[in-house]
Structures are given as structure tokens and as C-alpha cells.
Amino acid sequence: MSKVRFAPSPTGYLHIGGARTCLFAWLYARHTAKGFVLRIEDTDMVRSKKEYLQEILESLQWLGLDWDDIEYQSERFDIYRDYANKLIEQGKAYKKDGAVFIKYDVQEVRINDLIRGEIVFQELPKQEDVIIKSDGSPTYNFCCVIDDSLMDIDPVVRGEDHISNTPKQILMYRAMDFKVPSFAHLPLIMAEGGGRMSKRFGATAISEYRKLGYLPEAIVNYLLLLGWSPGDDREIFSLKEASELFDIKRINKTSAAFSFDKLNWINGEYIRKMSLDELCERLLSFYAADNPEFHDCPMDYFKRVVELFHVRLVTLSEFMDKSRFCFCDDFVYNNNAAEVLDNKLSKEITLLIARLKDLTVFDKALVETVFRQVVDEAGIKTKFLVHPVRVALTGDKIGPGLFEMMEVLGKEKVLDRLTRLLKYWEVKNV
């Protein structure tokens, strides 16, 4: 049975484009029950690095993309040299200056691409080309053709930037009497507004997206939408669902534009659909090496804080910035909240402190009742007291629902922080 492969080069990290190529190849293999081969193209002994290989393997595993077999081209040099020698014996190649050159039998080249239909190549390669360099290492096209044939790879799923390699490779298939496989060339991912992706516009390593707090299932879901859909207008679906529905012929021929807004929306959707327990586990894992302040807090309190922000998170990395006031008392009042504190409501805050002190049960409903009683007695609009209280508790003028937040923080913290606001105003009056 034929197989499908993904063939990254460990001369750099795994980026969005490579991850999507792997994803589509993996889906084709799983949907058609073919084997999936991860082939590490590490023939460049100078530029190939162990740290790049490690990042590629970890990123693929993080995305949920497994493989049935892994091959390293650096371990197959004898195979490539044997085929080069056979070509020399057959008069199809020759040695010169320490390198081996293939002599092409140049013929018309046509392929039936599974995505693009028939492609006719008008410009064919020159009559000869290097297949074994003077240092003994094989060239990319040569070992790629040999491996795809010996590993029974069909179809060859890869990016459209490899289309230009195809005529040369097909002539190599013919020279070595290999069966020519079918091809599926994926359109490239473009930056928002057009142009090639760059580090500024999405071309970031998958490991960086992980550090930024994106979920693997959201990344996979978004990559699927960059060129494919299940056909029922759904935008949120699992990898398992995609593998059941996948049809490579439904991949768009045109390039897709990368959008952080869309990725953020999808990531936020996945976070919102998570159970509270699962989100807590993801957050604790994400912050495993940092932020001991909430690793050391009681789990019940941590869960209540997470619940406050559950529907407000877009990425996991936002959590600490948004919730730091729940774990630390040393925050300052943000500059954007200064205007809120210009109107000194010392009398009203003092009254609120006194009323809250009398509460024996400090829950959302009772806190809100007391708050509204103070507003009525003071004869002011609710918003005029809500904003300074929020700044006193969080340092900012935006955040979760005020009364839910006060319940989670608890009576002692709330009273301490309101008292701190009174002292802040006293100092400003001096």
C-alpha cells in the first residue's frame, strides 16, 4: 500500500506553512488508511541542527500529528550513491571534478495534480545536473525522488513552491525507471493584505505560537480553514472530524491569507468551550515554570479566579496579565485609570467600607445590595462609584463583573484595597 509523507528539513524551525503541509498530508493518510512517513531531510550536514529537529518533532506531537515511521536521509547516503553509480554504469550520468552529473532525456512533462488538475511544463530543465556533490552528499531533487519511490509515496503532498522542481524530478523518475507518483501542490499561505508571510505577519515557529498561549487544537482548526472546509459552513471542528471528512480535491487552488483576528477568534472559542477543570489544567501547565504566586494558592481559589476570566480569554498567555490583581497586592493604578480617580469619593468609599464590614456572608448578591444602597444614599449614579471601586480592587478600569470579582477576592482583600484608595487620596491632598 502506498504512503504519504511530510519531509521537513532541520535547518530551521517548523513554521505555519510547513505545519499546514504536514496537516493536509496527515489527513490524507488517515482518511485513506495509508501509512504516514515523517522523513527528515537532513542531507545538509552544516545547516542541519539537533535543536531544529527537536523543535519540529515536539511541535508536530503538540499539534496531535503522529507518524507511522520516521526516516533520516543522512542515514541513507549509501543508497543515493548506489543509484548514482547505476546511472553512471547505464551511461545516464558521469563524474566530473568529484561530482556526479545526470544526463536528462528531456521530454515533455505533464502531471495531473490532485488539486490543480493538469499542469504542462513549458520550461524543461537543462540537459544535465549535479546529483552527488563533490563532498559526497546528494542533491535535494535526487534523494527526494529515490526516497519517494522506495518508500512508495503516492501522492506527493507539498507546497506549490515545489512545482518548479517537478519537471526535473519526473525526468529523474524516468531515468531510474521509477513509477511517477501523483502530486498535490498546496497553495501558499500569504500575509494579510497580500505578499509573502514574514515573522511580522504570521511566519512564526509553531513553538512560538505555543509560547504565546495558543491551543494546539485551535492552531490545527485554523490551518484547516486556510484552504479547506468540510463544506457545511462549519468553522469549528476537531482533527478527528476533519480526518473523517477530508477530501484533498476540496482544497482551494488559490492562496489563503493568514489572519491573526481569525486565529484569535478560533482560539477564544476553544477556550470558552472548555470545562473549568480543563482550562485550569491547561493554565497550570502553561505557567508551569513561572508565576509561583498562583501555583501556591489554594486550588479552590484558583478555580474561582479562572472562572472569572473564562469567557474573556483569547489566549492562555493573557491570563496572568488580566488576573494578577487576584494573586498579588502590589499592583499600581494604571495610567488609563487616573481620570477615574480624579473625582475623590472619599465619603462614599468610607460608607461602603463600613457597610461591607457588617456583612457576615460576603457573596455577590449581598455585596451588590449593599453597594446599591450606598449609591442611593449618596444620591449618585451607580457608574460613579463602580469605576473607582474597580480601580481600587484591580488597578484598572476594565475587568470582570464587579460583584462577582468582589466575592472571589473576599471580604478582607476588598476592605484592604478600598482603604488603600482612601490613603491614596489623602496623600494626593497633601
By annotation, the residues acting in catalysis are: 199
Sign of the CA dihedral running 377, 381, 384, 390:
positive
Contact in structure between 4 and 155 (CB atoms under 8 Å): yes
With beta carbons less than 8 A apart as the criterion, state whether 303 and 326 touch: no
Q: List the grid coordinates of 84.
A: 548514482
What CA–CA distance (Å, rounded) separates 247 from 254?
16
Distance of CA 402 to the CA centre of its chain: 33
User: What is the rounded CA–CA span in Å between residue 197 and residue 273?
Assistant: 30
The span from the CA of 76 to the CA of 155, in Å, is 22
Strand segments, DSSP code E, in 136-288 are: 156-159, 183-186, 189-190, 256-257
Rounded Cα distance, 326 and 37, in Å? 48
C-alpha cell at 211: 509560547
Cα gap 393→333, rounded to integer Å: 9
Cα 177 to its chain centre, rounded Å, is: 41
CA-wise closest residue to 153 among 248, 34, 22: 34
User: Could you tell me the CA-to-CA distances from 414 to 262, 352, 411, 417 in Å, in that order?
Assistant: 38, 11, 5, 5
239 vs 313: CA distance, rounded Å: 23
Strand-pair category, 256-257 with 189-190: parallel
Distance CA 147, CA 59 (A): 24
Cβ-contact 6, 25 below 8 angstroms: yes
Task: Measure Cα distances from 220 to 32, 88, 233, 237, 357 in Å.
Answer: 19, 46, 17, 10, 51
Q: What is the side-by-side strand order in the sheet with 69-72?
A: 3-6, 35-40, 69-72
